[in-house]
């Protein structure tokens, strides 16, 4: 079974791998190396059950992931207590294109819409889906302030930001519970954010750990095993989000994540 780690000082424990669900709801405007078909309900349910049976308790979604939230609302019925749900605000995806709205009004609307779509009374983690202007979003829009308010209202348990810059990541960590940053074998520039979060007891989620599937194309030493060894050796990392819809890939990732935590 996958180990779990504290999500900062939020009181939430998450499996070291989380299941990303963009591929359950969106197949346009994505940056994966191979085309894919969105799984039907039976295939999606089998994938989620496999994840749960092997210890994954974190599931990652977003309004920008097409129908992902709505589908999860159905797929997770009867097992809500087994899952830590992470969703987002800020990015919308309509008619094949993304657009962003970081206003407090839209932030509240987005969270309340996600609650309905997911069929839950509380979302465990909500992150701001940054467009890359991390610092401006934090300083100019009041997005994090609104998420803090929604937390006091009991609609979310923890909040933070999926950032794209070191400066934005540090600022987001200072002003919220958690950050999501990119870290993989080809990119480690946001590592100072992870270090800061460890010192300040903030949660850290890793995105693009396998470079959106491109890492698996590397020839030679197993890039998945090497990636997980690198990431999970850092005590500041709470979880890495893996967005596969292939059951064999998921099982392989789980096995290698477990191995990475016991190998010396």
Instruction: Return d(Cα 199, Cα 147) in angstroms, integer.
Output: 23
262, 1 Cβ separation under 8 angstroms: no
Q: Which of 2, 10, 108 is nearest to 58 (CA)?
A: 2
Helix then strand then coil, % of the chain, to nearest 5 = 40, 20, 35
Distance between CA atoms of 196 and 170, rounded to whole angstroms? 7
**65 given a catalytic annotation:** yes
Catalytic residue among 65, 141, 187, 196: 65
> Mutual orientation of helices 191-200 and 166-175 as an angle, nearest 10°?
20
- Read off φ and ψ for residue 18, nearest 5 degrees: -115, 155
Looking only at the bridges linking them, the beta strands covering 97-100 and 91-94 are: antiparallel
Cross-strand partners of 92: 99
As annotated, the active-site residues are 65
């Amino acid at each position: 079974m996958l180990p779990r780690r504290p999500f900062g000082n939020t009181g939430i424990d998450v499996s070291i791998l989380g299941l990303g669900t963009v591929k359950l709801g969106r197949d346009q405007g994505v940056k994966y190396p191979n085309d894919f078909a969105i799984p039907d309900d039976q295939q999606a349910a089998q994938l989620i059950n496999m994840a749960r049976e092997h210890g994954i308790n974190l599931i990652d979604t977003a309004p920008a992931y097409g129908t992902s939230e709505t589908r999860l609302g159905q797929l997770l019925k009867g097992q809500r207590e087994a899952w830590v749900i992470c969703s987002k605000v800020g990015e919308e995806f309509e008619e094949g294109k993304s657009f962003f709205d970081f206003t407090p009004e839209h932030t509240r609307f987005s969270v309340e819409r996600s609650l309905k779509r997911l069929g839950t009374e509380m979302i465990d983690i909500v992150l701001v889906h940054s467009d890359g202007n991390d610092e401006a979003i934090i300083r100019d829009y009041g997005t994090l302030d609104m998420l803090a308010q929604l937390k006091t209202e009991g609609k979310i348990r923890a909040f933070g930001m999926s950032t794209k810059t070191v400066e934005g990541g540090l600022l987001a960590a200072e002003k919220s519970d958690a950050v999501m940053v990119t870290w993989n074998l080809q990119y480690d520039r946001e590592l100072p954010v992870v270090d800061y979060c460890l010192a300040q007891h903030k949660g850290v989620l890793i995105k693009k750990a396998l470079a959106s599937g491109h890492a698996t194309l590397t020839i030679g030493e197993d890039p998945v095993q090497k990636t997980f060894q690198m990431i999970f050796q850092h005590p500041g990392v709470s979880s890495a989000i893996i967005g596969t819809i292939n059951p064999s890939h998921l099982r392989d990732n789980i096995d290698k994540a477990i191995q990475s935590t016991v190998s010396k």
